[in-house]
Amino acid sequence: MPDLTIRQYGDPVLKERTREVENIDGAVATLVESMIETMYAAPGTGLAANQVGVQRRIFVYDVGDGARTIINPRIVESDGEWLYDEGCLSVPGLSWEIVRPNAVHMVGLDLDGNEISIEATELEGRVFQHELDHLDGILLVERLDDAQRKDALKILRSRSMDLGPSDPDGLSKLLKL
């Protein structure tokens, strides 16, 4: 059982930009191991450090080739457009079609401190963009168009107030008082 808790929508830590990792040491390796375990248990495709309350620029992911880690990631190039249904471990059970670039070129460091450079498309590229957004304090609800965002916020508000899905505005609960 993972020892980390995934922070949910509304937690202020998710809105903060994370800080660069200066020293890749045993503490970072231990954090990464726990993040991978937490990601798999969720289950998810990617997990950023601030989603588990750690304000460092680290994310883990697995798009089918085994778990990988990118430290201090940056996207240096992007191209194209791809509409895809995207969800988030910090906004569980919900997903929306979101347009993002189809191809990205990401640079960063691996767990050994070596520079890495990865050109990714489709799902892998989307995971990179999604996790980098987390590290920049941006949630996927901020990537929605106006109509999607309005619906999403209604659902998320009802969750935070513990309202049932059939009563997203809380009126039924108020009428029973």
Q: Any idea which residues carry the catalytic annotation?
A: 131
Beta bridge partners of 85: 97
The whole-angstrom separation of Cα 84 and Cα 135 is: 21
